[in-house]
Amino acid sequence: MAKAQEPEKVGFFGRFKQIGMVFAFTAKRDKLFIPLVAGAVLLAVAVTALLIIFLHSWLYLPVGLMLILLGILVVLNLRANKAMMAEAEGQPGAAASIVEQMRGDFRVTPALASTTQMDFVHLVICRAGVILLGEGNPARVRTLVSQEKRRLSKVVGSADIRDMMIGRGEGEVPIQKLRMTLMRLPRTLLPKDVNALDKRLKALNARPQLPKGAIPKNMRPAKGAFKSMRGGPR
């Protein structure tokens, strides 16, 4: 069995370059980012100055530098996530990508069902059971979700099946709140149950879907083919 490809290790300068790219991305899309960074820096400088003045020691200068760096990173993390969520809103397949990057045992099958109009239903298997995430036109997605629920219910057993529609309408989940919504779901399955459920659903989804209705004439076997396969008349 081939080993899974290990993620490429990023060196110090590579990591620094990534932080710079995220910084530029956030600054371009979030007007409050730079003022908040400036506020965090000023707060760290003020705290450092007070430490030096009242404790009469320049040894707190490195501590101040660390506070400045920490303040920038905290603001960057918070505002970058918000900027990325805003950028992802309305993008096809964004919900599946967000869940794939979540911590924890979340197993995602993107675009389990879809339409030519870019409507998607993504399958998520986790400790909370089976979740169908819908993106696109609500009316078309509900039809897809109903079809997938009927199909998956044959093998999920007692596991819960939930569906969520991504959007800002009534009863829908904004993509910015998707992570928190999933994390708050009750964990009703053990890790071994998740593994077993994942195997059953993979086996179900791997089965070829036969077309409904009569077989077209050009796809029908030639007359007498079955007899020849059985060895002909005896």
**What pLDDT shows up at residue 126?**
94
**What pLDDT shows up at residue 133?**
94
Among 3-7, 85-89, 174-178, the range with the most confident prediction by mean pLDDT is: 174-178
Other beta carbons within 10 Å of 78 = 14
Mean pLDDT of the chain: 82
pTM of the predicted protein model: 0.64
**What pLDDT shows up at residue 2?**
38
Residues contacting 197, CB < 8 A, separation 6+:
125, 129, 130, 156, 157, 159, 189
Confidence of residue 25 (pLDDT cuts 50, 70, 90): confident
pLDDT at 75 over 80: yes
pLDDT at 189 over 60: yes
**What pLDDT shows up at residue 225?**
45
Question: In this structure, is the dihedral angle defined by the CA atoms of residues 98, 128, 197 and 195, taken in order, positive or negative?
Answer: positive
Other beta carbons within 10 Å of 123 = 20
Considering the chain, what percentage of its residues have pLDDT values greater than 90? 41
Confidence of residue 70 (pLDDT cuts 50, 70, 90): very high
Mean pLDDT of 163-181: 89
Mean pLDDT of 224-229: 46
Q: Contact, 14 vs 20, CB < 8 A?
A: no
**What pLDDT shows up at residue 208?**
54
Phi, psi for residue 95 in degrees, rounded to 5: -60, -45
Which tokens hold the place of 22? Answer: 């995220």
**What pLDDT shows up at residue 85?**
75
Q: Contact, 81 vs 101, CB < 8 A?
A: no
Number of C-alpha atoms within 13 angstroms, CB side, residue 150?
5
3-state secondary structure of 120: strand
